Amino acid sequence: MRENLTVYLALLRAAVLARLEYRADFLMGILGVFILNAGTLATSWVLLSRFHDLNGWLFWEIVFLYNLWLLGHGIRAIFFRHINMLEQFIVEGTFDQLLTRPANPLVQFLGREVHYLGIGDVLLALSMLTLSYQNLHLEWSWWMFLWFGVIALSSALVEATLTLILACTSFFTTRSRAIVNAASLFSWGVVQQYPLDMFNNVLRGIVTILLPFAFMNYYPSLLFLGKIDQVPFGFLTWYAPLVALLLTLLAIRFWNFSINKYQSTGS
């Protein structure tokens, strides 16, 4: 464990130094992320300016919901965005290099790159969450702020591990980009921008049990916004860290199983 952590941190340091060589690209990328997410928030504002609320959720509550997801997504994007590209590593034969080195292939793969675009997501999310906190007149105790940090990391782990599990299918089929993108788009359309209680039980079940993206933002936000007793299954607000831990263990086991079945493409 200690050896794997040392290898991961060394790879991460090398990846950060490589990214900082292109500072203009770094700053332009962060600016682009701000503009993209501002467009999404503007869409929510236009929608709520006509209907006042969505199933009882006000504009700043929707802003909080979206940016809680964006915070976890941004942290995931900084460290693990390249998980989506596993099929490319396999098709091009790059992945075979990881198997010839005396270190854990998963550690090598995860520490291979960092992505600066996630920094823009994190900065914007923290800014909008602060505005939401002020406009909703929330008053959290000290342990709520501590819990918020736990939830941010749990949210990042939920997305990273779900993506890794889906990307591992490329060990069997060579291609996994379509299934990863389909799951991401489904999550985008159901749980990232809208409160889950406005959808039917089938969709709620899918994003709670099968693809538990709802633990990135919807269920945790029920505690922060004081809505635990106002929606179905509000008690699940406490389960996000446990879901993240179980998904991490499942992703590691599925990775080890998949890599044992891996056959090089010969590229």
Supply the DSSP string of 224-246, one letter for each residue.
Answer: HTT-GGGSTTGGGGGGHHHHHHH
Burial per residue of 21-59, b for 16 or more beta-carbon CB atoms within 10 angstroms, e otherwise: eeeeebeebbeebeeebeeebeebeeebeeeeebeebeb
The confidence score (pLDDT) of residue 23 equals 65
Direct distance between the N- and C-terminal alpha carbons of the chain, in angstroms, rounded to an integer: 32
pLDDT in tens, 24-46: 666 666 677 667 667 666 666 66
List of the chain residues with pLDDT < 70: 19-30, 33-34, 36-37, 39-52, 188-190, 264-267
Phi, psi at 12, each rounded to 5°: -65, -40
Q: Where are the domains of the chain?
A: 1-260
pLDDT in tens, 82-107: 888 888 888 887 888 888 877 888 88
Query: How far is Cα 63 from Cα 65, in angstroms, rounded to an integer?
Result: 5
Contact 152, 75 (CB under 8 A): yes
The confidence score (pLDDT) of residue 14 equals 75
